[in-house]
Structure 1
Amino acid sequence: MGQSTEELRAEIEQTRRSMTSDVDALQDRVSPSAIVERRKQAARSRVLGVRDKVMGTASSAGSSASGRAGSVKDSASGAVDSAKGTAHDVVSGTQDRIQGAPLAAGLVAFGAGMIVSALIPASEKEAVAAGHVVDAAKEHGQPVVDQAKSVAQDVVADVKQTASEAAQEVKDSATDSAEKVRSEAQSGVDEVRSQTQS
């Protein structure tokens, strides 16, 4: 006897634990909710990566702030060196912010322009021009609207005709089927009568 029963039980228990963890890992891998969660996490990380590229990261802002603080400290020790360092830090910090957020800057500028344009009343020339555009749209759009109505009416007429023809065919088919069933039933009744009389 190679192994004792306790050793076999321990080995079986170890195999069972190993299989349980494998099954749990497999179930987690193929579970729809786990798959959805992994996809959501991947999408979140991509969005955060894009956001960091567009808006810049907190670490780049902190490094530019510490660079400015260092340049202020240097300015106390030497006027020329501090002027160079401060100018360089300001230029590089500005470049980092511009490179990090051109989309955000564009959106802010667009939003500000929309707000300003909404606050300024339309001039008389703009109102007249808008009236001309509306009139031209009505003039050129009316034939298109009339044509669309005509096409729609033709389609409705075709659909009505097709529907009535289909209904008539169904009615005729049902009548023919009813007659056929009636005649077969009558012949079956006649056959049964003749067999009972014989």
Structure 2
Amino acid sequence: MSLSNKIILAGISMFVLFAYPSYSPAHTEDEKNTIRIYDRAKAAVVNITSRSVSYDFFMTPIPQEGSGSGTIIDQKGHIVTNYHVVRGAQQLEVTLSDGSQWEAQLVGADPLSDLATLHIDAPPEQLSVISMGDSLTLRTGQKVLAIGNPFGLDQTLTTGVISSIRKTLQAGGVELENVIQTDAAINPGN
């Protein structure tokens, strides 16, 4: 076999080895657990679209649109999201994991903690509810998963660990309480 044929054969072998992940070793228990949690939780994560109209100097209307993620917390249609996602919105629309879209109403907000609660009138059987944990049991170093819709991409997953748990934190001249810091990538809209 000539040298050029050996190089071609080696190249094809490398391509086959790296191009087909199904030939890779079996998932680790940690990977299997991450996949199970993601599969169980993703249906409770929604995409939120906020719309408003602002006006320029000449009173010309300028449509504004933003997006973010939220989590269904009960079968009554309540969703928790970040306040900055809905701040100033004149219209809110929620897209469920099945693709259905619902008009949402802002029913509660706490700007200081950057939390808001929305409500949609979807049938209970169409709503997947997230299981809530107990933040008092968290420990630095624990694995965390973040599911969201950053950049308009549906149901992406990032992972990381809890980096720090603090009673208070000074940030931008504001004192934040009960802060959980993570190194999981949290992108705009996530």
TM-score where L is the length of structure 2: 0.26
Greater fraction strand: 2
Greater fraction helix: 1
TM-score where L is the length of structure 1: 0.25
